[in-house]
Structures are given as C-alpha cells and as structure tokens.
Amino acid sequence: MTLINQDQFGARLALCASTPESAVKRGARTIAATAVWVSQASEFRRLNAGIGACDPAWSPDGKRLALTAANGLWIFPAGPTGGRLVVESKVPIGEPTEFTYRAFAHPKWSPGGALVALLVTNGATSWVEVFDSIGGRLFYTSPPESYSFSWGATARDLRAGDLDVRLPPYPPSGR
C-alpha cells in the first residue's frame, strides 16, 4: 500500500491509500484502486465508499468526513456508522467522448461546515463546485479553467483559481 493523502482532526486520522485491487477503466477514465481508512487511537477501519475513494477532509468541528470516490461526494459521520453518497458525479448526457465524465477531487469544508467545495474535472478542464453538505444541493459553479480553490474567513468567501468570489449567504433566506 502507498499513502496518497490524509487529513487529521485531533486524534482522528483519515488516510487514502492504494489497494491491491487493479485500476478500473470506465470509458476514457481510469480509476485508481484506492480506499479511505479512519482511525481513532490505534484501530483503523475501511470506509465503504466504493471504487477510487480518496481525498479525506474532516469538517471544521471534526464530526464529519468528506471524501470523493468514482461515484461522487461522500459524507461520513465520525462515529462507526456508515456514510452516504451526497452528490453523484453523473456523466453528462450525449454521445460518449474522452471528455464525457465528471470526476470529483479535493473536497474542502467551508469554515462553518455547511458547505463543501471540490474540484470537478472532465479530462479537458476543471472547475469548482460548492454543495450543501447535508442535502447535496449545488450552490455554486465556477467558470472553467479553475484548477485550485480555497475558502476565506467565512462561507461567503471563496477563491477559485484567480477569481475572488463572494457567495450569497447560506442557507439562502426563505429556507
């Protein structure tokens, strides 16, 4: 096994590592055989998020863990119960080409933990999407050619590539 990346919150460690399984080919996309394990103290357990699970990120309060997999964005509670697929990385409608896929990577929680931003790629370009961390509702999509992002001091401040974005308040009024 090779360590890919990790995130830590206090004594909780989440890590993504390669697995002995073979990579999987889906259309033009090759999905690496990776998985995420979580430990508290010295015991590790593998999270069941499916093929290509990686990029663990603890919420600001350490109560939830976001990660990406071939099928989308998963959110797991810090405890021993299972997580759920919050956002599917659905393939665009149309004739398949080398660019007809969506892959998620590098989720990051907003400072208050209400939103999760991540990079989306289709093989030709990348952009940033922001989702509600509970229901998975799409909240913001950056212009294409955004290959990095970071949160500012609040959930309204996002830097996507060279663009400083001021998001509307969350949750939106009227909810």
Structure tokens, 83: 């997580």
pLDDT in tens, the chain (175 residues): 899 999 999 999 999 999 999 999 877 788 999 999 999 777 899 999 999 999 999 999 999 999 999 999 999 998 777 899 999 997 766 666 666 678 999 999 999 999 999 999 987 889 999 999 999 999 999 999 999 999 999 999 999 999 999 999 887 655 4
Residue type for position 143: P
CA 1/CA 16 separation, integer angstroms: 10
Is 70 inside a domain boundary? Answer: yes
Q: Which domain holds residue 17?
A: 3-166
Is 173 inside a domain boundary? Answer: no
CATH code of the domain in which 52 resides? 2.120.10.30
